[in-house]
Structures are given as C-alpha cells and as structure tokens.
Structure 1
Amino acid sequence: MDFFRTVLGDLPTSKMGFTYSHEHIVIEDSYITAANPKFLLNNTALISKELQAFYTAGGRTVVDTMPSNCGRNVLKLADVSRASKVQIIVPTGIHLEVYYPENHWRYTYSEDELTRLFIADIEEGIDEFDYSGPFVKRTKHKAGLIKLATGDEIFTKHQEKIFNAVVNAHLETGAPILTHTNFGRQALEQALLFKKLGANVEHIVLSHVDRAKEVGYNRAVLDTGVKVEYDSAFRWKNPEPNYTLNLLKELLPEYHKQITMGMDMAKNSYWKSYGGSPGLNFLIETIPAFLKKNNMEEYLDFIFHKNPRSLFAFMDRTYRK
C-alpha cells in the first residue's frame, strides 16, 4: 500500500486530498523566535481556527516544515490536527544555521549520529522535548519526511554532512525529502548532489524555487527530475510581475508532474486568525481561477493532489535496497 505519514499515523495516499506542500503550522518559543518574534506560532486555538477554515474550503493535508530542535512541537501539531481534521506531515532533519545557536549539537554530531537521530524520529517517535534537554522522551508521533536547508553560499563541509545524513535516513526508511533554498539559490546544486548521493529524486522537493524568478533556471532544476514547490504567489507586489504565476504559465505544460505549491506562512502576520493576511486559504481562493483564466484547469489536480501523493509517499522498499 502506498502510504504517507501524518502526525496522527499512517494513511493511504488516496486519503491525502487537497495538499499544501510547504507550511509552518507550529513554531514554538525558541532560539529563532527570540530574534524574530513574528515567527512565533504557538497558540493552538488560533492555529486550529485557521486550519478549520482551510478544511472547510476543501483543504485536507499540510506539510509542516520545522525540523529538529528549532521550534518544532509535535504535541501541539497533534492537537491542532485533531481539532481541525487537517492531516499534518511533520519533518525531522535540520534547518538553516541561523535557526540554531553557534554551540548547537548539530555542529558536533557525526554523520552517523545525525542519521540515527533522523531515523529514530521516523521509526520510533519524535522526542517530546525536541532534543532540547538532557533526556529524550519519545512520543507516538512520527516524522513523515526529512528536511535540510542551504543558504546563498557554496555548500560547506558541515552542510555536506547534513546532506549525507539526510540521504542515509531517506534510503534506510523510505521517507521523502524536502529542502529549503534561499530565493532558489543553490537549488540546482542541491538536486545534483542528491543524484550523486543516490537519493530517489521522485521523492525530493525543493522549496521556494519560484523566488529565483527565471524560467530557464527553474527548467534546469526540473530537468534533474526533482519536484519543486512554489510559495510566493502572494508575495510579489505591484508593479513587480507575479513571477510565480509566470512560472506556472510557462512550465506547467511540460512539467505538470513536478510542480507543487504552498504558502510558507512562517510569520504570524500572514495568518488571518492572528489578525494578518492573506491567510492560509489564499491558494484555494486564487489558483483555480488563475488556471481557468489561462485554460490550464487540467493542472490543478497535479499541483494539489497527484504530485503531493507521489512525492510524500514513502518509497517502495525495492528502491531502498
């Protein structure tokens, strides 16, 4: 059975429904929120309210993208999933360096230790304390994907260690991989390194690549076989072109099996339930009309249903061998 893993358990991919492929549902009080208070998303009542509106509008699954020890709170994610009925895929892995203090364990753990930590999140359960204390108390809630992130620069030795550990865990468990890119920078290099390391590109998605703007660059990334995630449709401001919509128009006819979308609402000022805008339902409210206007309605099902189902399914064991 093809399955994906939610915070409340495994489900057949046929149950995934309308899916946003890159969100921030809970960001707990942490190192990053101390420096950036707008990143704080830990009020379960307000989060549940927004997710309930998403469910009412037809949304069924969201992919949370806060990995290990940078604001992840798996118990709150489970609570808001129960309250809203929205299925939430939770990651393990490591975020950008800026999300952690300089003396964080990510810098001292070996590749093997990181691999085993990621595998434990996927197969045993995520630590209730998210590796912030001297004890580990594993919950019944398991990770359903693995995340890594790179910045503007050429990959460092430390980042290469993260890549190796992520691919090790991916091949051992079958869990899919999601990445962060800074404005799409180093996306092509990410894709090529994954291929070099033997990862299954059909279960890898690179996020924020629409921020790179250029059709040719996005095409080069897609030609590697990975999937991409676009989440800036609401960010472009007049008189600037809406590069996300331009990319959809140019690339969907050829690459409709590789493009997914999300909102990436990491700031509480984007959430209607927090008094902000545009709110989580922005894509549900705008993308179907955009596709219809451009005679591209046939691609809606790929962006929000078929592509997430194939991407976030755990790999078949025959590949992993």
Structure 2
Amino acid sequence: MSFVRTVLGDIEPERMGVTYSHEHVIIEESFPTLGNPDFLLNDVDKVAEELSRVYEAGGRTMVDTMPANCGRNVLKLAEVARRSGIQLIAPTGIHLEKYYPPNHWRYAYSEDQLTRLFIADIREGIDAHDYNGPLVERTPYRAGLIKLATGDDPITPHQEKIFRAVVNAHRETGAPILTHTNAGKQALEQAERFHELGADLEHVVLSHVDRRPDPDYHRAVLETGVRLEYDSGFRWKPGEPNGTYQLLEALLPEFPDRLTVGMDAARSNYWQSYGGKPGLTWLLTTFLDDLKSRHLDSYIKNLFIDNPKHLYTFTQRTPQLPNP
C-alpha cells in the first residue's frame, strides 16, 4: 500500500489534499538563527495560528524543510500539526554548509554513518534533541523525506558524500528527496548526480529553481526526469516581470505533472501571526487568483494536489508503520 509519512503518522496519498511543497514551519534557536534572527520561527502559538489560517483557506499538508541539526524541532512540529490540522512532513538530511558551524559532525561522519542517521530518522524516529547530543532520545515522530543542498559554486567532494548518503537512504527506505538550490544554480548537476547514483527521479524534487527564470534551462532539468518546486512568486518586485509566473506559463503545458509550488517563507516578517506579510495564505489567495487571470486554472490541481501526491509517496522499500 502506498503511503505518505507525516509527523503524526502514515497517511494514504489521497489524504494529502492541497499541499505546500516547500516551507519552514519551525526554525528553533540554532546556528542559522544566530546570524539571521528573522529566521526564528519557534513560537508554537504563532505558528499554529498561521497554519490554522492556511487550513481555513483550504490547505491540508505542508512539507517542512529544516533538516537535521540546523533548527529542526520535531516536538514542536507535532504540536503545531495537532493544533492546526495541517499534516506536516518532516525532513531528515543535511542543509547548506553555512547553516552549520565549521567543526560540525557533518564533516567528520562517514558516508555510512550519515546514511544510517538518515535511515534512523525515517524508520525509528527523530531525536528529541535533534542531535545536539550527547544523548539520542528517539521520538515516535518520523521523517518523511530526505533533504540536501548545494550552493553557488560547483558541487564539492563533501557535498558528493552527502549526495551518496542521501541516495543510499532513499534507496533503502523509499523516502522521497527534496533539494535546495541557490537560485537554481547546480540544478542540472544535481539531477545528473541523482541519475548516476540510481535515485528514483519520480520522487526527487529540486527547489527554488524559479529564481533562475530561464525556460530552456528548466526544460533541460525537467527532461532528466526530476520534478521542480517554485516558491518565488511573491518575491518579485513590483514593476518587474514575475519570473515565476512566466515559467509556469511556458512550462505547465509541456510538463503538467512535474511542477509543484510553495512559499519557502523562512522569515518571520513573511508571517501574519508575527506581524509580517504577505502571510502563508498568499499561496491560496493572490497566487490562485493570478493563475486564473493567466488562464492557468486548469493546472491548479496538478500543482497543489496531484504532483505533490505522487512526489511525496514512499516507493515501498520501507513498511508502513503504526501511527504514534
């Protein structure tokens, strides 16, 4: 039986409903927030309030994308899911190097150690302390995807190790893979590595690629078999062309089953509950209206329901487990 692994348990893919495919729901006090205080999203009351608004607007699932030991707090994710009704998918994996101190364990661990850590998050449960050590206390809340990230520069040997560990865990468990790209840089290189390592490209999504609004480049990436996630629709400045909408107009007719959307709203000043704007409901209000005005409404179900449902479904290499 196919399933999607949420924080509160495994669900049938059909229960996902309207899905935000790349968000940052909880960012706990951590190394990333030291240099970026507006990244801090750890007030459970405010987060639950914001997600409740999304639920009232019709949203049902969100993919959280803060992976191991850089602000992840699975206990708070579970609490927010219970309060808001939003089904949350939690990640394992590793983020960009800049979100970790220079002496972090990510550099010392072997490919095998990283692989086993990712698999444990998926099959056993995420550590209550998010590997801030020295003890590990596994919760009943399991990861439902694996994340990795590359930056502006060519992929490094260290990142190659992360790629191998992520694909090892993906092939062992069937968990989907989500990546970070810096404005679409290295997207084609990421896709090529996943192919070389034997990942199931139907369950691999590359994020933020719409920040490089070049349709031909996107076609080249999509033709490898991976999926893309766009989340910059609200970031384009007034008066300039909206690259996200232009890409959707160009590519949805060709690749209706390969594109997903989110907001990647990782700053508190984007959240209404923190006094910011536009708020996470933007995706189900302004964005939907803009799609309709551009005669793209026939693709809304693909973007929000059908494509995430196929992408985030496990490939059956790991058994469905009882819910916590």
TM-score scaled to structure 1, two decimals? Answer: 0.98
- Measure the CA separation in 1 of the matches of 2:202 and 2:59: 24
Q: Does 1:116 align with 2:116?
A: yes
Gaps of 5+ in 2: 319-324
What amino acid is aligned across from residue 21 of structure 1 in structure 2? S
3-state SS of the aligned residue for 1:247?
Answer: helix
- Measure the CA separation in 1 of the matches of 2:152 and 2:295: 36
How far the C-alpha of 1:183 sits from its partner, in A, is 0.4
Match in the other structure for 1:96: 96
Q: Does 1:244 align with 2:229?
A: no
1:159-198 to structure 2, matched below 5 A, reads 159-198=159-198
Q: Does 1:147 align with 2:142?
A: no
3-state SS of the aligned residue for 1:255?
Answer: coil
C-alpha offsets along residues 19-65 of structure 1, whole Å, 9 cap, x if unaligned? 00000000000011011101000000000000000000000000000
- Measure the CA separation in 2 of the matches of 1:104 and 1:241: 41
- Measure the CA separation in 1 of the matches of 2:292 and 2:101: 47
Query: 2:172 touches 2:317 (CA, 8 Å); kept in 1?
Result: no
Match in the other structure for 1:128: 128
C-alpha offsets along residues 155-205 of structure 1, whole Å, 9 cap, x if unaligned? 111000000000000000000000000000000000011000000000000
How far the C-alpha of 1:240 sits from its partner, in A, is 1.6
Match in the other structure for 1:315: 315
Match in the other structure for 1:23: 23
Query: 2:222 touches 2:258 (CA, 8 Å); kept in 1?
Result: yes
- Measure the CA separation in 2 of the matches of 1:110 and 1:295: 50
- Measure the CA separation in 1 of the matches of 2:308 and 2:286: 19
Percent of aligned positions that are identical: 63
Q: Does 1:281 align with 2:287?
A: no
- Measure the CA separation in 2 of the matches of 1:308 and 1:120: 24
- Measure the CA separation in 2 of the matches of 1:203 and 1:34: 33
What amino acid is aligned across from residue 27 of structure 2 in structure 1? I
3-state SS of the aligned residue for 2:260?
Answer: strand
How far the C-alpha of 1:286 sits from its partner, in A, is 2.1
- Measure the CA separation in 2 of the matches of 1:21 and 1:74: 18
1:74-89 to structure 2, matched below 5 A, reads 74-89=74-89
3-state SS of the aligned residue for 1:228?
Answer: strand
- Measure the CA separation in 1 of the matches of 2:68 and 2:198: 24
How far the C-alpha of 1:316 sits from its partner, in A, is 3.3
TM-score scaled to structure 2, two decimals? Answer: 0.97
Q: CA RMSD in A?
A: 0.9
Q: Does 1:269 align with 2:265?
A: no
- Measure the CA separation in 1 of the matches of 2:80 and 2:36: 23
Which deviates the most, 140-149 or 233-242?
233-242
How far the C-alpha of 1:294 sits from its partner, in A, is 2.5
3-state SS of the aligned residue for 2:151?
Answer: coil
What amino acid is aligned across from residue 203 of structure 1 in structure 2? H
Q: Number of matched residues?
A: 318
- Measure the CA separation in 1 of the matches of 2:292 and 2:282: 16
3-state SS of the aligned residue for 1:218?
Answer: helix
How far the C-alpha of 1:289 sits from its partner, in A, is 2.0
1:63-74 to structure 2, matched below 5 A, reads 63-74=63-74
What amino acid is aligned across from residue 117 of structure 1 in structure 2? L
Match in the other structure for 1:206: 206
How far the C-alpha of 1:317 sits from its partner, in A, is 3.8
How far the C-alpha of 1:101 sits from its partner, in A, is 0.2
C-alpha offsets along residues 183-229 of structure 1, whole Å, 9 cap, x if unaligned? 00000000011000000000000000000111111111111111100
Match in the other structure for 2:322: none
Match in the other structure for 1:255: 255
How far the C-alpha of 1:238 sits from its partner, in A, is 2.2
Q: Does 1:306 align with 2:288?
A: no
